[in-house]
């Protein structure tokens, strides 16, 4: 089978539901790897207990046992005895799951004498991984490099006090006030100027941090634009090499087959563990919406009610400056020939379901209520005539819903465009003055890739203008927080940067070598890889400085692999901490394998994809999940895609029904979302267990995550086997006659 066929098969099979009951899994020779008979369907039934069985469970005190499944009672839930014997062979590994005779340690695979080709392939894998590690480390994007994850980091306002005392197992009465009521700017500590370090512009037109008075003593050696393109070219050529693609494809198929086997043999055990886990279920495990655009964070019904309310009670408020005059809300609606009574979800017309497929331009227009950009400006912008007060009010309503639901949290994307130098301060003022603070919310700043538009309208001359507008205020506030005190406080709640726009636009390579930003005067937009580099290089210098000062560092989490050139995924592999979408990984097996090995977070939104780029049934999400990629579910734009008050639950619920996810799967996804998110380590510890940073079962607290240890152990074993293989073969010494250990 050639690789194209292989990729085709990859997409063709993507409808296959999560457990392997429906279709056989084929290896590349077309033979059955795993036989699934109809009898397997009955395995599903076994997981449901009759009243009598439940009673027996209860009588044997299983509630206590539930937390520790090593001590599970044997009468009802045990697998056939042959498997028990296998388990007993390894007394040290009590969390072991059942895999029959599949090699479950890498050691068994080391005995083969590898071919030089195989060693070469693994060496390439290791080289790619080392490059990523270098880029990530230099930009301080690893979570252990971020000061906010270290003990002693103070979060103001303080997180709400727990309402449950685990020691006494009682609910305690605590009074938690919302952050917006508690927050007081005068209580924030604003440090003074750093006289040791200063910043300037380097040869690539990136900001660089150097010792004050000594330009040559830079804070870190950030890879130059040239280095980056060389590394990128290297990675692209490695990942498009035929044998590498076949190799990665086989590894991914193996991972999927291994999952299917695991699931077949352990589903029953998993379900029984989660049933015995007291109190915890899918609804009360913490989950984070890892990718939401703030201006689309409310659902349509909510926005509609809000508009109607304003029209009824504040129709004389001056809201917008248009055509040389200031208009009241009433006048705006008069000019649109509309009354409050006319408004309905249908006239609002913001749902994107049918007419936006492969039309990102049309999708962008869906942000305009009733197709009117002036309504978008009034209701959905932070920087407008009313200083974003309407958006602030509706945001607070959404946040209050989130706080009431307690277990749902959101990472909102909010725009900074790079059109003018005061955007950051205006945004920070909006957040601080309106006290939009919540324990359930953190921010990412999204940078739209719109240089060509600003250039056309004369807002900017060169790409450098955008870089200056985006980053100069950040370096100023890092040097001296007192220069922009509100921005300093706002940045404590910012996780990082996102890069957004239509990826399906073509990146035309009109230069053999790209000019640096101050020379970029052409009307064409720079390509995705170029945008990403300049976000990265400036961020890297900024982070080095921020970490030195003990300020939180920022990560890069761009939209990537939603459409367009799969090469974007290679750029992001080097530069980004994690990504949103990633559906195009299905076309580049080698890159997908790298994303697996490095467990790069992928915030996926199948409902959004369904409206824009890929129908729900073809979405690779269930496949990625089975293979063990680090995926989470997110809503993208509730305003355009959701129908209910709980968009995140809607997203999980549709996925669960179409892809047949079990409760354990959903809890694992929720756990992934917390791990991917940018909340401070102390909060994550409260949410998913104090040792959450440890590998495998050590890091799992089933009482909080509701993910059984056998699942965690399976994922960890599988990953470490793959990593062991890479390390083993990549350091293999070859001889003239072949390879030798
Ligand atoms: Zn998005």
pLDDT digits (tens, 9 = 90+) for 342-370: 888 888 888 877 778 888 787 877 888 88
pLDDT in tens, 12-47: 333 333 333 333 333 343 333 333 333 333 333 334
Percent of the chain whose predicted confidence (pLDDT) is above 70: 84
- 358 carries an active-site annotation: no
The candidate with the shortest Cα–Cα distance to 300, out of 380, 373, 406, is: 380
The candidate with the shortest Cα–Cα distance to 290, out of 554, 634, 637, 572, is: 634
The candidate with the shortest Cα–Cα distance to 229, out of 587, 516, 466, 541, is: 516
Could you write out the DSSP letters of every residue in 344-358? Answer: -HHHH----SSTTTT
CA of 711 to the centre of ligand 1 (A): 30
Question: How many CA atoms does the CB half-sphere of 440 hold within 13 Å?
Answer: 21
CA of 413 to the centre of ligand 1 (A): 8
Domain hosting residue 127, numbered range: 1-176+222-279+567-741
Angle between helices 589-597 and 116-138 (to 10 degrees): 60
Options 439, 581, 686, 728, the catalytic residue: 581
Tell me the torsion sign for CA atoms 450, 455, 457, 459.
positive
Does residue 355 or residue 385 have the better pLDDT?
Answer: 385
Q: What are the structure tokens assigned to 633, written together?
A: 């579910």
Whole-number Å distance between alpha carbons of 429 and 437: 12
Q: What are the structure tokens assigned to 295, written together?
A: 């201006």
CA of 468 to the centre of ligand 1 (A): 25
CA of 394 to the centre of ligand 1 (A): 20
CA of 296 to the centre of ligand 1 (A): 10
Confidence of residue 114 (pLDDT cuts 50, 70, 90): confident
- Asked if residue 563 lies in contact with residue 361, where contact means CB atoms within 8 angstroms, the answer is no
pLDDT, residue 107, reads 60
CA of 353 to the centre of ligand 1 (A): 15
- Asked if residue 676 lies in contact with residue 336, where contact means CB atoms within 8 angstroms, the answer is no
Strand partners, 321: 326
DSSP 735: E
pLDDT, residue 164, reads 76
680 Cβ contact list (under 8 Å, min separation 6) = 148, 149, 153, 155
- Asked if residue 558 lies in contact with residue 572, where contact means CB atoms within 8 angstroms, the answer is yes
pLDDT, residue 182, reads 85
Does the residue 489 lie in any domain?
Answer: no
User: How many residues does the structure list for the chain?
Assistant: 741
Does the residue 582 lie in any domain?
Answer: yes
* Ramachandran bin of 146, using left for φ above 0, alpha for ψ from -120 to 50, beta for the remaining angles: beta
Confidence of residue 185 (pLDDT cuts 50, 70, 90): confident
CA of 292 to the centre of ligand 1 (A): 6
- Residue whose structure tokens are 């991914």: 252
Residue 29 parent element (H or E): none
Does the residue 435 lie in any domain?
Answer: no
- Please determine, for residue 57, whether its predicted confidence score (pLDDT) is greater than 50: no
Question: How many CA atoms does the CB half-sphere of 233 hold within 13 Å?
Answer: 8
- Asked if residue 602 lies in contact with residue 629, where contact means CB atoms within 8 angstroms, the answer is yes
- Asked if residue 451 lies in contact with residue 482, where contact means CB atoms within 8 angstroms, the answer is no
pLDDT, residue 276, reads 87
- Asked if residue 430 lies in contact with residue 383, where contact means CB atoms within 8 angstroms, the answer is yes
Confidence of residue 277 (pLDDT cuts 50, 70, 90): confident
CA of 386 to the centre of ligand 1 (A): 26
Strands (E), 389-535: 408-415, 441-448, 494-500
- Please determine, for residue 740, whether its predicted confidence score (pLDDT) is greater than 50: no
Does the residue 91 lie in any domain?
Answer: yes
* 70-84, 132-146, 234-248, range with the lowest pLDDT: 70-84
Tell me the torsion sign for CA atoms 478, 481, 483, 486.
positive
Name the average pLDDT for the chain.
84
Strands (E), 14-96: 25-26, 32-34
- Residue whose structure tokens are 């995926």: 631
pLDDT, residue 172, reads 81
- Please determine, for residue 83, whether its predicted confidence score (pLDDT) is greater than 70: no
- Asked if residue 225 lies in contact with residue 204, where contact means CB atoms within 8 angstroms, the answer is yes
- Please determine, for residue 1, whether its predicted confidence score (pLDDT) is greater than 50: no
pLDDT, residue 99, reads 67
Rg of the chain on CA atoms, in Å: 27
- Residue whose structure tokens are 């044998």: 243
> pTM of the prediction?
0.85
CA of 557 to the centre of ligand 1 (A): 11
Confidence of residue 101 (pLDDT cuts 50, 70, 90): low
Confidence of residue 48 (pLDDT cuts 50, 70, 90): very low
- Please determine, for residue 333, whether its predicted confidence score (pLDDT) is greater than 70: yes
415 Cβ contact list (under 8 Å, min separation 6) = 295, 445, 446, 447, 448
Cβ atoms within 10 Å, residue 475: 19
Angle between helices 225-239 and 589-597 (to 10 degrees): 110
Whole-number Å distance between alpha carbons of 537 and 204: 9
Whole-number Å distance between alpha carbons of 724 and 716: 12
Could you write out the DSSP letters of every residue in 372-408? Answer: -HHHHHHHH-SSSTTTTHHHHHHHHHHHHHHHHH-SE
- Please determine, for residue 457, whether its predicted confidence score (pLDDT) is greater than 90: yes
CA of 293 to the centre of ligand 1 (A): 6
Q: What are the structure tokens assigned to 630, written together?
A: 């680090």
Q: What are the structure tokens assigned to 493, written together?
A: 């709640």
Does the residue 343 lie in any domain?
Answer: no
Angle at 493 between CA 142 and CA 183, to 5 degrees: 150
Whole-number Å distance between alpha carbons of 73 and 122: 44
Instruction: Give the mean pLDDT of 518-529.
Output: 93
Question: Helix, strand or coil for residue 312?
Answer: helix
Instruction: Give the mean pLDDT of 172-178.
Output: 82
What's the domain count of the chain? 1
Does the residue 165 lie in any domain?
Answer: yes
Whole-number Å distance between alpha carbons of 391 and 702: 39
SS (H, E, C) 115-167: CHHHHHHHHHHHHHHHHHHHHHHHCCCCHHHCHHHCCCCCCCCCCCCCCEECC
Whole-number Å distance between alpha carbons of 609 and 585: 14
pLDDT in tens, 401-427: 999 888 999 999 999 999 999 999 999
Question: How many CA atoms does the CB half-sphere of 107 hold within 13 Å?
Answer: 1
* Ramachandran bin of 680, using left for φ above 0, alpha for ψ from -120 to 50, beta for the remaining angles: beta
pLDDT, residue 664, reads 94
pLDDT in tens, 630-687: 999 999 999 999 999 899 999 999 999 999 999 999 999 999 999 999 999 999 999 9
- Residue whose structure tokens are 């390879």: 739
Alpha helices in 153-299 (DSSP H): 179-182, 225-239, 242-276
CA of 393 to the centre of ligand 1 (A): 23
Cβ atoms within 10 Å, residue 185: 12
CATH number (domain holding residue 3): 3.20.20.140
Q: What spatial distance separates the first Cα and last Cα of the chain, rounded to whole Å?
A: 31
CA of 233 to the centre of ligand 1 (A): 27
Peptide bond into 157 cis (omega under 30): yes
């Amino acid at each position: 089978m050639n690789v194209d066929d292989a990729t085709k098969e990859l997409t063709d099979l993507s409808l296959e539901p999560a457990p392997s009951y429906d279709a056989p899994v084929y290896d590349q020779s077309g033979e059955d790897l795993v036989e699934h008979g109809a009898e397997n369907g009955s395995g599903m039934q076994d997981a449901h207990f009759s009243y009598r069985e439940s009673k027996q469970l209860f009588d044997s005190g299983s509630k206590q046992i539930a937390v520790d499944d090593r001590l599970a009672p044997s009468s009802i839930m045990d697998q056939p005895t042959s498997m028990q014997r296998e388990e007993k062979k390894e007394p040290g590994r009590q969390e072991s799951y059942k895999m029959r005779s599949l090699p479950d340690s890498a050691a068994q695979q080391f005995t083969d004498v590898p071919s030089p080709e195989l060693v070469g392939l693994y060496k390439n894998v290791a080289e790619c991984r080392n490059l990523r590690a270098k880029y990530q480390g230099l930009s301080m994007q690893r979570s252990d490099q971020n000061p906010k994850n270290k003990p002693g980091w103070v979060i103001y306002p303080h997180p709400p006090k727990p309402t449950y005392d685990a020691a006494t197992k009682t609910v305690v009465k605590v009074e938690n006030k919302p952050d917006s009521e508690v927050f007081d700017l005068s209580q924030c500590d604003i440090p003074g100027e750093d006289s040791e370090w200063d910043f300037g512009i380097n040869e690539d037109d990136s900001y660089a941090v150097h010792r004050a008075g000594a330009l040559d003593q830079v804070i870190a050696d950030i890879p130059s634009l040239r280095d980056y393109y060389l590394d990128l070219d290297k990675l692209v050529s490695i990942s498009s090499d035929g044998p590498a693609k076949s190799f990665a494809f086989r590894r991914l198929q193996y991972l999927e087959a291994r999952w299917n086997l695991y699931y077949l043999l352990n589903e029953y055990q998993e379900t029984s563990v989660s049933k015995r886990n007291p109190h915890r279920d899918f609804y009360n495990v913490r989950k984070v919406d890892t990718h939401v655009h703030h201006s689309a964070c409310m659902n349509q019904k909510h926005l509609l009610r809000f508009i109607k309310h304003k029209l009824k009670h504040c129709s004389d408020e001056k809201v917008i400056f248009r055509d040389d005059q200031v208009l009241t809300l009433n006048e705006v609606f008069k000019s649109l020939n509309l009354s409050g009574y006319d408004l309905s979800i249908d006239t609002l017309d913001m749902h994107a379901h049918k007419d936006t497929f492969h039309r990102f331009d049309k999708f962008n227009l869906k942000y305009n209520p009733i197709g009117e950009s002036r309504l978008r400006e009034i209701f959905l912008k932070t920087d407008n005539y009313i200083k974003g007060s309407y958006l602030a009010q509706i945001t607070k309503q959404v946040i209050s819903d989130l706080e009431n639901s307690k277990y749902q949290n959101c990472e909102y994307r909010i725009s900074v465009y790079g059109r003018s130098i005061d955007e950051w301060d205006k945004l920070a003022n909006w957040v601080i003055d309106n006290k939009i603070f919540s324990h359930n919310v953190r921010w990412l700043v999204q940078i739209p890739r719109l240089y060509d538009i600003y250039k056309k309208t004369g807002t900017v001359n060169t790409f450098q203008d955008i870089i200056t507008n985006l980053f100069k205020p950040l370096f100023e506030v890092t040097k001296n927080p007192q220069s922009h005190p509100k921005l300093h406080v706002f940045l404590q709640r910012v996780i990082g940067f996102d890069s957004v726009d239509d990826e399906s636009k073509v990146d035309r390579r009109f230069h053999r070598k790209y000019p640096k930003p101050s020379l970029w005067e052409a009307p064409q937009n720079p390509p995705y890889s170029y945008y990403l580099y300049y976000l990265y290089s400036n961020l890297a210098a900024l982070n080095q400085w921020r970490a030195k000062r003990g300020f939180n560092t920022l990560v890069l989490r761009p939209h990537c692999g939603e459409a367009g050139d799969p090469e974007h995924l290679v750029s992001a592999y080097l530069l980004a901490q994690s990504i949103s979408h990633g559906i195009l990984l299905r076309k580049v097996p080698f890159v997908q394998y790298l994303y697996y090995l490095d467990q790069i977070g992928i915030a996926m939104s199948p409902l959004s994809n369904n409206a824009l780029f890929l129908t729900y049934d073809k979405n690779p999400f269930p496949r990625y999940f089975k293979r063990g990629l680090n995926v989470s579910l997110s809503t993208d734009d509730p305003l355009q895609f959701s129908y209910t008050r709980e968009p995140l639950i809607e997203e999980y619920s549709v996925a669960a029904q179409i892809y047949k996810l079990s409760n354990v799967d959903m809890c694992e996804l929720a756990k992934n979302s917390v791990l991917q998110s940018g909340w401070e380590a102390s909060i994550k510890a409260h949410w998913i267990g104090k040792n959450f940073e440890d590998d495998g079962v050590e890091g799992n607290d089933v009482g909080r995550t509701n993910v059984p240890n056998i699942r965690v152990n399976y994922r960890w074993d599988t990953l470490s086997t793959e990593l062991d293989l890479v390390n083993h073969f990549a350091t293999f010494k070859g001889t003239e006659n072949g390879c030798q250990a």
